[in-house]
């Protein structure tokens, strides 16, 4: 008997071919490489489209399939509920260091207060902290400076979703009162900040940058926000992200790059990076699944830290890929990112994928004692970006640091393993697809999320598991490569390193290193072993103390 729940032969062939080709079964290295434009339009690596009739047929088929097992589920799963991981995120026999030592930031306690408010706004956290602790600057004044800048510039940049003025001023006053009574919570005491609007905050909307969720309120506060609040941080706003964590297009427009207002901010942590670059906040929280901290940090000329997978709790964050999502800081300096990470760090009973690990930064450590490698083949070229990358190597050599050439080679194709992201994304937004809410997303081109989520549903479970098995091999191979080095220097988009390290969960620090021929910022990336972020911060701080790329300001916002 012929089943009524069938897909037309043409559609079945289209889906089969598109799924295999699009999600990496036959991707070669060249097609799999990530570039700045590819991160902006990640789905453009994928070539598939559906007619309205095919779309309706597909949705009908998906709903019929769903009815077969709907009784297995008594309620709709919350997006944040993580499945049991199919793969082991840690290499065999590897256990992170659990012994936490006192942190030593080496901050200057004699910072002078600038006269211009713009100069105050562009100070890094480690200097603002000294000013607040010494009472040269109140948290209330600092918060009002940033609130004024947000109200002045956020419309131009299209980077803000929710301004939290009243609660921010109240928190700032409370921090000043505590300090007056001799209570000091640490370097983030009284420091304003922003978050990417995929992090829930009770009493505010959490839009995920997408029209179907623009009025959504989640009755919880994300763990990272709770930790920042306890550390004395002052939350001033929730910033934009590309819809459902892709690119810089959200339901209200396109977030802009402060260095070039005709250009998008890149994504998906678009608003967080744009706001830091324009001096609207000293730091903001971003997330990365496949480049969403590195790419906007590069585009906006700021410093982004992608932590080891599992170091920072994802509780209260929108899930795109439970096995790949990471949360990290975007700020003006490597040292600032270390300060923020020390607060975010730690296992969370509300996030089963979080992992307890020490973060032992000491400014007394000697960066020259670190063993540093570099992916030699990725430094070839004669464009401005390549020259800027070479300058980093020259800087390190001139400081007496020996550089060891390294080749990034793996036995498995990371492009193929990316199908795990698509499958997990389709599962995370199951209801969006089945209820037809995806029609409300701004991006409806052939490679936007709606088509990708539908296509991913036709990937066999067997292939997902096989990809997870290959990913385990990739994790072991990357661990074997990294264990011989403390730091590896790489162009941010060199070869497939961005794909590989996102799949293996290795940490990365993205630093500005100059400008290209069009005047847009460029970046360099430092990689480290799993849970060795203190080495990234140490080397990043050393580079920034011997250069001034991170001090540059977008001219239109330096006022």
Cα–Cα dist 263/436, whole Å:
31
Cα–Cα dist 180/79, whole Å:
42
**How many Cα atoms occupy the beta-carbon half-sphere of 272 within 13 Å?**
38
Q: Which of 133, 196, 238, 256 is catalytic?
A: 196
Q: Indicate the burial class of 398 (C-beta count within 10 angstroms; 0-12, 13-18, 19 or more).
A: exposed
DSSP 104: B
Cα–Cα dist 13/347, whole Å:
45
Cα–Cα dist 190/400, whole Å:
39
Q: What is the DSSP string of 348-384?
A: BTTBTT--------BTTS-GGGS-EEEEGGGG---SH
Q: How far apart are the first and last CA of the chain?
A: 74
Cα–Cα dist 283/234, whole Å:
11
Range 363-370 contact pairs with CB under 8 angstroms and sequence separation of 24 or more: 363/104, 363/105, 363/106, 363/541, 364/104, 364/106, 365/534, 365/538, 367/401, 367/538, 367/539, 367/541, 367/542, 368/399, 368/400, 368/401, 370/401, 370/486, 370/487, 370/535, 370/538, 370/539
Active site residue 295: no
Q: Which of 269, 292, 354, 492 is catalytic?
A: 292
Across-strand partners of 260? 257
Active site residue 214: no
Cα–Cα dist 362/91, whole Å:
27
Which CA distances in Å does 447 have to 23, 255, 353, 453, 457? 12, 20, 30, 10, 15
Active site residue 92: no
Across-strand partners of 487? 372
- How open is the CA angle 269-211-143, to the nearest 5 degrees? 45
**Cβ(309)–Cβ(505) under 8 Å?**
yes
Q: Which of 138, 139, 154, 268 is catalytic?
A: 268
**Cβ(306)–Cβ(507) under 8 Å?**
yes
Q: What is the DSSP string of 154-221?
A: HHHHT-EEEE-HHHHHHHHHHHHHHHHTT----TTTT-EEEEETTB--TTSB--TT-GGGTT-B-SS-
Across-strand partners of 345? 312
For 210, residues 6+ apart whose C-beta sits below 8 A from its C-beta are: 243, 244, 250, 251, 440, 441
Nearest to 529 by CA among 308, 291, 290: 308
Across-strand partners of 249? 254
DSSP 547: -
Cα–Cα dist 94/113, whole Å:
46
**Looking at the annotation, which residues are catalytic?**
196, 268, 292
């Amino acid at each position: 008997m012929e089943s009524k729940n069938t897909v037309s032969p043409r559609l079945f062939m289209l889906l089969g071919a598109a799924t295999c080709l699009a999600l990496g079964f036959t991707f070669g290295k060249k097609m799999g490489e990530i570039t700045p434009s590819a991160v902006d339009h990640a789905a453009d690596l994928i070539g598939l489209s559906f007619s309205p009739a095919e779309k309706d047929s597909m949705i009908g088929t998906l709903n019929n399939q769903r009815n077969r097992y709907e009784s297995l589920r008594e309620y709709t799963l919350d997006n944040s509920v993580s499945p049991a991981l199919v793969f082991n995120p840690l290499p065999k026999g590897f256990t992170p260091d659990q012994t936490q030592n006192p942190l030593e930031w080496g901050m200057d306690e004699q910072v002078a207060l600038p006269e211009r408010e713009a100069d105050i706004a562009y100070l890094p956290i480690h200097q603002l902290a000294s000013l607040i602790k010494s009472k040269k600057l109140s948290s209330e004044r600092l918060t009002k400076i940033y609130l004024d800048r947000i109200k002045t510039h956020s419309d131009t940049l299209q980077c803000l979703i929710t301004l939290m003025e009243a609660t921010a001023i109240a928190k700032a006053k409370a921090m000043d009162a505590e300090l007056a009574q001799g209570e000091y919570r640490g370097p983030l005491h009284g420091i304003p900040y922003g978050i990417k609007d995929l992090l829930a905050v009770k009493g505010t909307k959490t839009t995920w940058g997408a029209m179907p969720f623009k009025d959504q309120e989640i009755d919880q506060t994300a763990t990272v926000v709770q930790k920042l609040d306890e550390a004395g941080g002052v939350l001033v706003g929730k910033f934009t992200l590309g819809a459902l964590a892709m690119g810089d297009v959200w339901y209200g427009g396109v977030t802009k790059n402060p260095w070039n207002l005709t250009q998008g901010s890149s994504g998906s942590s678009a608003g967080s990076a744009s706001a830091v670059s324009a001096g609207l906040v000293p730091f903001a929280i971003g997330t990365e699944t496949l480049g969403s901290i590195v790419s906007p940090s590069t585009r906006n000329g700021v410093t982004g830290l992608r932590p080891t997978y599992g170091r920072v709790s994802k509780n209260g964050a929108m899930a795109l890929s439970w096995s790949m999502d990471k949360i990290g800081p975007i700020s003006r300096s490597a040292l600032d990112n270390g300060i923020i990470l020390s607060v975010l760090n730690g296992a969370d009973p509300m996030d089963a994928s979080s992992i307890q690990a020490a973060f032992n930064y000491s400014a007394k450590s000697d960066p020259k004692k670190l063993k540093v490698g570099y992916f030699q083949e990725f430094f070839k070229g004669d464009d401005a970006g390549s020259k800027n990358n070479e300058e980093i190597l020259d800087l390190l050599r001139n400081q007496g640091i020996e550089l060891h050439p390294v080749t990034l080679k793996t036995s498995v194709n990371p492009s193929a393993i990316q199908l795990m992201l698509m499958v997990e994304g389709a599962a995370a937004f199951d209801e969006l697809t089945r209820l037809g809410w995806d029609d409300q997303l701004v991006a409806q081109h052939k490679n936007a999320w709606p088509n990708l989520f539908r296509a991913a549903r036709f990937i066999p479970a067997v292939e997902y598991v096989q990809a997870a098995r290959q990913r385990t091999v990739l994790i072991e191979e990357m661990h074997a490569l990294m264990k011989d080095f403390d730091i590896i220097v790489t162009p941010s988009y060199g070869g497939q390193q961005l794909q590989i390290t996102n799949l293996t969960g290795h940490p990365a620090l993205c630093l500005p290193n100059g400008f290209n021929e069009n005047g847009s910022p460029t970046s360099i990336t430092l990689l480290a072993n799993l849970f060795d972020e203190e080495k990234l911060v140490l080397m990043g701080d050393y580079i920034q103390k011997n250069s001034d790329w991170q001090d540059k300001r977008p001219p239109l916002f330096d006022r």
